[in-house]
Amino acid sequence: MIKTPTTDPNTGSPKEHAPRHQPPKLFEPAIMRRAAVDALLKLNPRLVARNPVMFVVLVGAAVSTYFFFHDLVAKGDALFSGQISLWLWFTVLFANFAEAMAEGRGKAQAESLRKARSTMQARKLGPDGREERVPAPALNKGDLVVCEAGDMIPADGDVIEGIASVDESAITGESAPVIRESGGDRSAVTGGTRVLSDRIVVRVTQEPGTSFLDRMIALVEGAERQKTPNEIALSILLSGLTIVFMFATVTLLPYAQYAVSAQGKGAVPSIPVLTSLLVCLIPTTIGGLLSAIGIAGMDRVMQQNVLAMSGRAVEAAGDVSTLLLDKTGTITLGNRQATAFVPAPGVTEAELADAAQLSSLADETPEGRSIVVLAKEAYGIRERDVASLQGDFVEFSATTRMSGVNVGDRQVRKGAADSVRRFVQDHGGTVPSQVQDSVDRIAREGGTPLVVAENGRVLGVVQLKDIVKGGMKQRFSTLREMGIKTVMITGDNPLTAAAIAAEAGVDDFLAEATPENKLAYIRQEQAGGRLVAMTGDGTNDAPALAQADVGVAMNTGTQAAKEAGNMVDLDSNPTKLIEVVEIGKQLLITRGALTTFSIANDVAKYFAIIPAMFVVTYPELQRLNFLSNPRSAVLAAVIFNALIIVALIPLALRGVRYRPQSAAAVLRKNLLVYGLFGILIPFPCIWLIDRILVLLRLA
Amino acid sequence: MTLSAVLQVLIFFGLVLLVTKPIGVFMAKVFEGESTFLHPALGWLERSTLRWLRVRSDDDQPWHRYALSLLGFSAVSMAVSYAILRLQGWLPLNPQHMGTAQMPAHLAFNTSASFTTNTNWQSYSPELTLSYLSNMVALAIHNWASAAAGIAVAIALVRGFARHSAKGIGSFWVDVVRATVYVLLPISFLGALVLVWQGVPQNFLPYQTVTTLEGAKQTFAMGPVASQEVIKMLGTNGGGFFNANSSHPFENPNNGVNLLQIVMIFAIPAGLTYTFGKMVGNVRQGWAVFAAMSVLFLAGALICVSQEQTGNPLFTRLGVQAGNMEGKEVRFGIPASALFATVTTDASCGAVNSMHDSFTPLGGLVPLFNIETGEVIFGGVGAGLYGMLMFAIIAVFIGGLMVGRTPEYLGKKIQKYEVQMAMLAILVLAASILLFTALAANADFAKSGAGAAMNTWPGSAYGGADNAYGATTGNLNNAGAHGFSEILYAYSSGTGNNGSAFAGITANTPFYNLTIGLAMLVGRFLMILPLLAIAGNLARKKQVPATAGTFPTDGGTFVVLLVGTVILVGALTFLPALALGPVVEHFQMTGLQTK
């Protein structure tokens, strides 16, 4: 029983299974409570300092608080400076809360994984063949361990002896067991999974503390999170803007002094007011949500049951412009299927179907089964009981390259055209030219022709074809719109490959693929400046997986493949790559959109604060003011600035909705939503906050 | 706004549009080393100059050597200019006997910095200060050299985009020589002839004293005006032969010449956008940049013209309907003056045919705002294009993220390094304008030790007796918000390498000469260095082929994004400062308040 990809053959999309990693709801009370506590702990200046924008807010909050106490003592406007300080603290807390929320979901997941790791015992096999019980963490690379039915596999490794069914649900969430056996591409086992039957000997391939499970826990917790290249570039932009706005705000003090002395009236704005202006102008919205967006992006990949080894890999997925997809299992259904019976002259289709079915009754290959199915579906030929026919079955062999059945003196055979020709000629018959034509045509169209003959008489040809999964063509055309080129990898000859490629609608194909020419193809694409993504599972895929910018290894694959790639798909579903690409894009879009929104917001905040700041010196500026009074104007802007962070947490965690479209269309839409509305929306919001403040007599 | 005013703006814009492609194609050929129709006539000049410089025509420099060449060239030529200015009393071509009394050290520093940086800020009256040699050698030489250097830097940056996996970004020396020989020289030659034909003087005579019809004696300043006038406009220099600059009839005799002058200001910057498109292999990319510049130009021009035509409501109330004619030449009228003001500040030219100080508050806000965008609306020769490309990098970075890919511009990934350098340039410009203004506007500073000490420097006293002797605020002829605008304008103009002035401020003091001189050097070289670094880094990168997933930078959406970035990132910084200057003034005026 071998686990096949959990893909619905009709749609090609991942089937709904019951994942153990059921993602917690976005705002689950438990996570929110924990995030609220974490938000306070994250006030540690050393932690905040990692984010220059929020660090400026923190300093601003501290400075305002000083002035609040000063006002308390000096009987100044403590109500005002107190509120300003409060909201500045809230601004930092809200940003911390966003980050804690994003981390919270991973933390919950990590805890359940930790349980799987705890207190595992291993049966270590000594050099003399004797077993010894040791705790799992004491295992070293190269040690041999024995696992029998019911045992937990204590560490990552390769099966070197035996075959067993293994329950990997602890890692993958998939409850159906999988087969693991020595040799070949299904030898890798993961620590923390359970052997259900039989006995295997596993050679440990990991050093202590570096197991797949350890890495997985570290990843979901975000402990290993490093800033991705685009995130670094964006942080630089935001820091630069912060410094520019610091200049703009700091210089306002001498400007105001000049104005006051020139006008001979009014007052220089107080430090809390200047601080408020600064905090409102610097990009706190994106600055506060930036790390939450990154963590949430990783989390979304996780929810797809894909384990990304780094945020860099997820980001690179968004940049991918070439997608290498294996034909079998990804683009086509696993096996070729009979699609038509083409009879020879003077033979009816039913006659051919009957003979073909007869020859395939004992053929347990998927191709053979599909002939039986087609005969039944197209001609209503019932499946006959093999035993009652008293037939003598001829199995497929590499020398004859035919299979069939002998019933009495009827010798029915099906097989490759040249083999069957020899068989017919041996029986004194010939292959009619029409049949040869059909054979050639089917081959040209990318199918596989099987000739059916009975003794010396050729009955016709069965057409076997690769069945392209439903919906793939649509999917590839969407990818094309997104600017992603799809390449089909297949071992078929170029002719067959071309026909299937055309039918599936991929942009290019690599026929007669070998590990070497796969690697060469990737290098050639990369030399042209493209980023390449691929999936793979076999050991011989490892070099290509390592070379690709995004290499997704199937969890069913070998250890070598898993280590070479930068993502592991726990569902082993090759189509998943497309979802990962979309998540990568969504991650970048969310960052860009919130940056635009953040900067666009500044216009309204200027309109709120600047007139309020100087109206005492220049009463004419009252004409620009749309708010109640100077104090409420400044407060309203600061409150808006803090609340918008909270309001956008769901967007930051879920990501901006992404529909595959051309870049031009995506940009137009996002520019309108986050740019134009980013300019307009704050006006009514700040106005409303201002009214509420006045109503509550807070300003 | 009258119909004829709109037509004047449109006719001007049409002429610019007309010359953009021919000049652009020509420059692309010149800088890619191809042969043009001028090579048979001028090729010897290029070859012999390069031979004299010991530079091969296929020389290729990595960015830091390109930058060092530029810095070395600028430093040496600035030092030579400084020396000539200081020594002019002992040098020939000095019929008016100008000497060190007219040219103290701080003024010589300011002036040589000003011309080296293509700013041409003049805190002196040339006809009362400079010998002909100072004018022709110490200053006019920079009108060529700084313009050529600006073009060279722009071309180097374009090469960064156009090349891939390359080490070099071209040769500074070859680019400067080619820009001078094939671009500046031929156009200037023709332009000067036209100016002479139209009545602009070109002589070495001493100043002429004549008796007017009323019997009064009047002195006419003379000199080689035409040759300097043409490069003043074409090289977006702006330094006038006379104090009155392009409002002087000898510099700008009639409306036809006036139109020619402003077309010359935009000719090379507009052409460079096409050159850019051509060199990166997609002329639509160039037109997109051109379009963004055009939107900003037209908006500014229409606001400025309409504000000036509306005039001051305080006068309108008194029955004066002529719009705001204060500080404008009657020969040119309001639209041509407002258009000139917009053009000269869009580009970093700084020539003036009217007094910007006398504009209405919002009319005067337009030139100020234009300069504070970093002068990227066509901009200075070369400087406009490289400034706009800097904003394009920021725009592409933010916009590119919004399409879900690592941002790319012209096939080059915009990553940490590019963002870092572009932000550095923006930061430096903002800091220079804001911090120097803060220093100058601070009344305490004027009275403090450092400010007062400067006033005791020898030679500080040059200037009219009506000017206060203080360092900073004391030197304003206008108090209040308008005075603040004057200070802000001075440092914006200096940092932006514009060179026009809001006048009203006596800038020829040690404090202003030193700080504005520094602002000019900072604004020029601390902007060029990061951009050359970007050019070098981009040239090294691989080219990413464009796909449907690539954010298109040759369409309308990009133009909108670029315009938005220039306004939001470039100018948002200055909004508080502007609110305290022109904006307050406007409301004071419309509120019918008099001071």
Helices (H), A380-456: 386-389, 417-426, 433-444
Tell me whether residues A621 and B587 touch, CB distance under 8 A.
yes
Task: Quote the DSSP letter at residue B458.
Answer: T
| Residue A28 phi, psi (nearest 5) | -70, 135
Give A645 or A563, the one with higher predicted confidence. A645
A377 vs B559 pLDDT, higher one: B559
State whether residue B484 is helix, strand or coil.
Answer: helix
**What is d(CA A477, CA A465) in angstroms, rounded to the nearest whole number?**
22
The shortest CB-CB distance from A596 to any of B398, B430, B575 is to B398
Structure tokens at A136: 């799992």
Q: What is the DSSP string of B110-158?
A: HHHHHHHTT----SS-HHHH--HHIIIIIIHHHHHHHHHHHHHHHHHHH
Query: Does A248 contact B576 at a Cβ distance shorter than 8 Å?
Result: yes
Q: How far apart are CA A67 and CA A79, in angstroms?
A: 11
Of A230, A623, A663, the CB nearest to B548: A663
Q: pTM for the whole thing?
A: 0.85
Inter-chain touch A245–B573, beta carbons under 8 Å: yes
Q: Which residue has the higher pLDDT, A334 or B546?
A: B546
Residue the block writes with tokens 């904003």: B391
Least confident of A31-40, A303-312, A504-513, B390-399: A303-312
Least confident span in A87-91, A219-223, B159-163, B190-194: A219-223
- Residue B141 has a CB neighbour count (10 Å cut-off) of 17
Active-site positions of A read 326
Residue B582 is given by DSSP the state I
Q: What is the pLDDT of residues B61-111, one digit of tens each?
A: 999 999 999 999 999 999 999 999 999 888 888 877 888 778 888 899 999
Q: Cα distance from B159 to chain A (closest Cα, Å)?
A: 18
Hey, is B592 helix, strand or coil? coil
Q: Looking at beta carbons, which residues of chain A come within 8 Å of B480?
A: 262-263
The residue assigned the tokens 């918008």 is A644
- How much is the pLDDT for A67? 94
Nearest to B157 by CA among B533, B555, B591, B542: B533
Cβ B545–A249 below 8 Å, yes or no?
A: no
Helix (H) or strand (E) holding B334: helix B333-346
Report how far apart, in Å, the C-alpha atoms of B188 and of each of B49, B181, B182, B382 are. 19, 11, 10, 17
Map residue A5 onto helix, strand or coil: coil
pLDDT value at residue A125: 84
Do the Cβ atoms of B423 and A247 come within 8 Å? no
Which among B397, B480, B577 has CB closest to A255?
B577
CA of A274, closest CA in chain B: separation in Å? 11
Among A620, A666, A672, A673, which would you mutate to test the B interface (most chain B Cβ atoms within 10 Å of its Cβ)? A620
Q: Distance of alpha carbon B32 from its chain centroid, rounded? A: 26
Q: Which long-range contacts (CB under 8 A, 24 or more apart) does A384-392 make?
A: A384/A357, A384/A358, A386/A361, A386/A362, A389/A358, A389/A361, A391/A358, A391/A361, A391/A362
pLDDT, averaged across chain A: 84
Round to whole Å and give the CA distance between A535 and B470.
Answer: 75
The distance of B526 to chain A (nearest Cα, Å) reads 15
Cα of B488 to nearest chain A Cα, Å: 10
Contact at CB, A261 and B435, closer than 8 angstroms? no
CB contact under 8 A, A618 and B584: yes
Pairwise CA distance, residues A153 & A143, whole Å: 13
CA distance A228 to chain B (A): 11
pLDDT score at A7 = 39
Give the DSSP per-residue string, A192-255. Answer: T-EE-SSEEEEEE-S-TT-SHHHHHHHHHHTTT----HHHHHHHHHHHHHHHHHHHHHHTHHHH
A108 phi, psi to nearest 5 deg: -60, -40
* Alpha-carbon distance B97 to nearest alpha carbon in chain A (angstroms): 41
How does DSSP classify residue B358? Answer: G
**Which of A258, A528, A614 has the CB atom closest to B442's CB atom?**
A258
The strands making up A550-554's β-sheet, listed across from edge to edge, are A306-308, A567-569, A550-554, A532-536, A322-326, A485-489, A508-510
Chain B residues near residue A239 by CB distance under 8 angstroms? 423
CA distance B34 to B31: 7
pLDDT of residue A15: 38
Instruction: Beginning with the edge strand found earlier in the chain, give each strand of the sheet holding A402-407 in spatial order.
Output: A332-343, A457-468, A448-454, A410-415, A402-407, A392-394
CA distance B267 to B30: 16
DSSP A256-315: HHHHHHHHT-S-PPPHHHHHHHHHHHS-HHHHHHHHHHHHHHHHHHHHTTEEES-HHHHH
Nearest to B403 by CA among A293, A587, A649: A587
Say if the Cβ atoms of A319 and B399 lie within 8 Å. no
Contacts of B568 in chain A (CB under 8 A): 599-600, 602-603
Closest-CA residue to A578 (of A466, A467, A471): A471
Closest CA to A323 of A583, A588, A574, A569: A574
A237 and B423: CB-CB below 8 Å? Answer: yes
Nearest Cα residue in chain A from B431: A247
The token pair that represents B531 in the structure block: 């951009």
pLDDT digits (tens, 9 = 90+) for B444-496: 555 554 555 555 544 444 333 333 334 455 666 677 788 888 888 899 999 98
Residue B66, classed as helix, strand or coil, is helix
Using an 8 Å Cβ cutoff, are A307 and A298 in contact? no
Compare all CA atoms of chain A with the CA of B407 and give the residue at the minimum distance: A230
Contacts of B161 in chain A (CB under 8 A): none
A vs B: CB pairs below 8 A: 231
What beta strand segments (E) does A329-409 contain?
332-343, 392-394, 402-407
Q: What percent of chain B shows pLDDT beyond 90?
A: 54
What is the Cα–Cα distance from B238 to B76, expressed in whole angstroms? Answer: 22
Q: Which of A258, A525, A680 is the best substitution to test chain B (most B C-beta atoms within 10 A)?
A: A258
d(CA B360, CA B352): 16
Query: In this predicted model, what pLDDT tens digit does every residue of A394-440 receive, in sequence order?
Result: 777 767 778 888 887 888 888 888 888 888 888 888 888 888 888 88
In this complex, do A233 and B591 lie within 8 Å of one another by their Cβ atoms? no
AA identity, residue B304: C
What average pLDDT does chain B have?
87
What are the distances in angstroms from CA A597 to CA A96, A376, A677, B122? 20, 62, 8, 42
For residue B158, which of B68, B279, B64 has the smallest C-alpha distance?
Answer: B279
- Torsion over CA of A405, A410, A414 and A418, rounded to 10 degrees? 130
User: DSSP letter at B463?
Assistant: S
Q: In this structure, what are the phi and psi dihedrals at residue A100, rounded to the nearest 5 degrees?
A: -65, -35
Give contacts of A623 with chain B, Cβ < 8 Å.
Answer: 587, 591
pLDDT: which is higher, A590 or A222: A590
Give A-chain residues touching B550 at CB under 8 angstroms.
483, 663
Residue of chain B whose alpha carbon sits nearest to that of A231? B416
Which residues in chain A are contacts of B288 at CB distance < 8 A? none
Interface test with B, best of A227, A242, A247 (most B CBs within 10 A): A247
Task: State the CB neighbour count (10 A cutoff) for residue B540.
Answer: 18
Q: What integer pLDDT is reported at residue B463 of this predicted model? A: 36
- At residue A119, the pLDDT reads 66
Helix (H, G, I), strand (E, B) or coil at B163: coil
The predicted pLDDT at position A352 comes to 87
**Cα–Cα distance, B494 to B513 (Å, whole number):** 10
List of chain B residues whose C-beta atoms are within 8 Å of the C-beta of residue A610 = 575-576, 579
CA of B589, closest CA in chain A: separation in Å?
Answer: 9
- ipTM of this predicted structure: 0.90
Could B443 and A670 be called an inter-chain contact, meaning their C-beta atoms sit closer than 8 Å?
Answer: no
Residue of B542, B558, B569, B580 to mutate when probing chain A, most A C-beta within 10 A: B580
Select from A236, A243, A483 the Cβ nearest to the Cβ of B550: A483
pLDDT in tens, A626-662: 898 999 999 999 999 999 999 999 999 989 888 888 8
Residue B551 half-sphere exposure toward CB, CA atoms < 13 A: 34
Across the interface, whether the CB atoms of A230 and B557 are under 8 A apart is answered: no
Distances (CA, A) of B298 to A175, A241, B378: 67, 28, 12
pLDDT at A14: 39
Asked if B564's CB is within 8 angstroms of A483's CB, the reply is no
Nearest Cα residue in chain B from A286: B398
Look at A241 and B593 and tell me if their CB atoms are within 8 Å. no
> How many angstroms separate the first and last alpha carbons of chain A?
72
Q: Is A483 in contact with B560 (Cβ distance < 8 A)?
A: no
Q: Which residues pair with residue A457 across a beta bridge?
A: A454
Mutating which of A53, A231, A234, A237 best tests the B interface, going by the most B Cβ atoms within 10 A? A237
Whether residues B580 and A614 touch (CB distance < 8 A) is answered with yes
pLDDT digits (tens, 9 = 90+) for B494-514: 998 888 887 777 778 888 888
CB contact under 8 A, B441 and A255: yes
From CA A1, how far away is CA A179, in angstroms rounded? 7
CA distance A671 to A580: 24
At residue A113, does pLDDT exceed 90? no
Closest CB to B573 among A244, A591, A663: A244
Give the closest-approach CA distance of B392 to chain A in angstroms: 14
- Using an 8 Å CB-CB cutoff, list chain B residues near A230: 401, 406, 415
